[in-house]
Amino acid sequence: MCLANVFVLCFCLVAFALAAEPPVVQTRYKPLLCVDGYLFRDLNANGQLDVYEDWRRSVDERVEDLLARMTLAEKVAQMMHPTFIPRPDGSPPPFMEKWCRDLQIGFVLVRDLPSARAAAECMNRLQEWCEQSRLGIPIVVSMDSIHGLSYVNGGIVYPHNLGLAAIGDLNLVRALVEAARKEHLAVGVRMTLSPNADLATEPRWGRVYECPGEDANFAAEFVRVYVEAYQNGTALNRDSIICCVKHFPGAGPQMEGVDMAPIVSTPETLPLHLLPFKAAIEVGVASVMPYYSIPLALDTMAALGSRKTLQDLLRQNLGFTGFINTDWGMQFGIRQAGMFWGREISNDEALIIGIEQAEVDVVGGASPRDISDVVRLVEIGKIRVERINESVRRILRVKFMLGIFENPYVDPSHAEKIVGCPAHQALSLEAARRSLTLIKNTGILPLRNVNSILVAGLRAGDVDSLTGGWTSKQTGLTIVEAIRALAGEGVRVHYVAENVEEARVRAAGSDVAIVVVGEPAYVHNPPWGASTLELTSSQQKLLEAVHETGTPLVVVVLLARPYILTWCAEKADAIIIAYLPGTQGAQAIAEVLFGRVNPQGRLPIQLPRNMEQVRNQRSDLPADLTDPLYERGFGLSYSG
């Protein structure tokens, strides 16, 4: 800060003492102005207080003043939402300086930050570059943080939504999201691409684990609480994290479970899938994300390019007034929809369909090269200037409400204290404990008086399998490590990752065998594919080899989708559904195995008996399996 700014700051502190909680104003490159005893940032460095720099003015006044000062390219840049990956030390790559200072990108999605301090310093650097831009417009940094601060190593990473639905406690959901909100604020991430409001009505869909179950009424209440907690109320403010509810208009019923295939809800079942989105809108959700898929009940175009979906339904019918942020790859989704119907769509036409016709506001996954393409389309009359202005008004309004025009910076030392603090990790552990669902027990659990334990399966030695998708590499205990720690020094714990013959030998000499099954961590497309929910042949062989020894068999299922567990239900002595329990999941699993914690979770979805049942069910209806292996709501405990 220059000497003149220090003088202005000292002069104004006396006036601040008499003011009614003025905002904290912080600058690093642009001058400070002191007017009427108050501090303001001179964001365009013209030596005078302009309307958009004056936090005493209404948001609408500030928006219109700034909009009038912006070039067409600057406006279009505010609509872009690309992704960047920091360097290994957490610092932003050099090209981000151009994105922020020269192009003035409006949003950016960040992933894979090594620590809280690195995250905070990275966000500060981005905002410094933005401050140096012509108009000093701050950027909004977002994260695919669907179960905590999941892309910052050491942050809170609690169970995915399916696990939280197994608990059914909305007060716990609120507490978890409040903790996540504080951690996001601490590192300077002001937008979460969540909650996922889709219903888990298609068992084969790879993103079932992100859904808050298949009960639409519970999902609606879940989303309501989630949005209120992240946004710190029903109107954005300085302590809010923007929520972007997804995937409109309900992407759960993907055709045959194939991600990005058409959404097969009908006019009769669509209202069911809209319930969670209605709840989000009722509590003022700031952003909505439409999906790549074609909503057959509404249109022949992908939702993210469908005027019928976004304007007729979302805005006119449901009354949404926030900004529409497409899923990543708007042009890809629109062109894919064209291919589905045998029509070729150019990149230019896709931009026109999305921005001019469907009237999206923010293009997720955009390339900065898209700025010049959109500017050109405006200049030749294919996209209206006023259409661009409408979107930029919504974007600027949100930024002013967040207070980042006054102070976009964070304290890295504070971030280190808040992110992953003991209180937050305790909440995460409580959620992991309470989510675990015991669906079979012949009396082998809780473990008592055992001297030798076999733990088997690749998932037992892998932290990523506990956290699942949409999460960067996290430090934490694996299941086998947690079992060793809780079993005590006198108990031998052997681990076999996947060698069937070794597992057979070790099981024969053990008092109990614990086999962990499930898919490795993934994002969109499940490793086993959408055509099956059967355990892999390698996992099945491991289970059978252990069972053949006669040693009591406990199966722990890291369940991202409703797998076929019929063999386990017939042969195993106990089955624990752990879902994807987060970084504290291994500790919770070990505690339940040894009886330190009484399992209390309840299945938030039906578990099918075989694939024929799955193929015969309707993708758009909840709980429609006939004679499932286990019903929704089922769960045992040690006390009864």
Provide the pLDDT for residue 36: 96
In the predicted structure, residue 115 carries a pLDDT above the cut 70: yes
Share of the chain above pLDDT 90, in %: 96
For 576, the enclosing helix (H) or strand (E) is: strand 574-577
How many other C-beta atoms lie within 10 A of the C-beta of residue 28? 14
Instruction: Round to whole Å and give the CA distance between 410 and 1.
Output: 16
Provide mean pLDDT across the span 17-46: 89
For residue 119, the cross-strand partners are none
Please list the alpha-helical segments (H only) found in 79-169.
95-97, 116-131, 161-167
Instruction: Round to whole Å and give the CA distance between 477 and 483.
Output: 10
Provide mean pLDDT across the span 255-277: 98
Residue that the structure tokens 């025009």 belong to: 405
Please tell me what DSSP assigns to residue 295: B
What are residue 494's phi and psi, to 5 degrees?
-100, 140
Per the prediction, the chain carries an average pLDDT of: 96
Q: Can you state the angle between helices 585-593 and 479-487, rounded to 10 degrees? A: 40
Provide the pLDDT for residue 13: 42
Domains assigned to the chain:
3-49 (no CATH), 80-416 (3.20.20.300), 436-616 (3.40.50.1700)
Provide mean pLDDT across the span 586-615: 98
In the predicted structure, residue 432 carries a pLDDT above the cut 50: yes
In the predicted structure, residue 2 carries a pLDDT above the cut 70: no
Provide the pLDDT for residue 10: 43
Instruction: Round to whole Å and give the CA distance between 583 and 585.
Output: 5
Of 215, 202, 116, 98, nearest in space to 156 by CA: 116
In the predicted structure, residue 471 carries a pLDDT above the cut 90: yes
In the predicted structure, residue 20 carries a pLDDT above the cut 70: no
Contact status, residue 291 vs residue 303, Cβ threshold 8 Å = yes
Instruction: Round to whole Å and give the CA distance between 171 and 577.
Output: 22
Provide mean pLDDT across the span 252-278: 98
- List pLDDT tens digits, range 282-333: 999 999 999 999 999 999 999 999 999 999 999 999 999 999 999 999 999 9
How many other C-beta atoms lie within 10 A of the C-beta of residue 221? 17
Provide the pLDDT for residue 21: 83
Provide mean pLDDT across the span 260-264: 97
In the predicted structure, residue 414 carries a pLDDT above the cut 60: yes
Provide mean pLDDT across the span 207-224: 98
Cβ neighbours of residue 366 closer than 8 Å, sequence gap 6 or more: 79, 80, 81, 82, 330
What are residue 436's phi and psi, to 5 degrees?
-60, 130
For 90: left if phi > 0, alpha if psi spans -120 to 50, otherwise beta; the answer is left
Provide the pLDDT for residue 454: 98
Residue that the structure tokens 């003022």 belong to: 284
How many other C-beta atoms lie within 10 A of the C-beta of residue 468? 31
Structure tokens at 269: 């079942």
Q: How far is CA 455 from the centre of its chain?
A: 31
In the predicted structure, residue 458 carries a pLDDT above the cut 90: yes
In the predicted structure, residue 6 carries a pLDDT above the cut 60: no
Cβ neighbours of residue 11 closer than 8 Å, sequence gap 6 or more: 34
In the predicted structure, residue 27 carries a pLDDT above the cut 60: yes
Please list the alpha-helical segments (H only) found in 289-368.
307, 330-340, 347-351
Of 2-6, 75-79, 264-268, 274-278, least confident by mean pLDDT is: 2-6
pLDDT band at residue 639 using 50, 70 and 90 as cut-offs: confident
Burial class (CB in 10 A: 0-12, 13-18, 19+), 639: exposed
Provide mean pLDDT across the span 243-268: 98
What are residue 161's phi and psi, to 5 degrees?
-55, -35
Instruction: Round to whole Å and give the CA distance between 377 and 73.
Output: 12
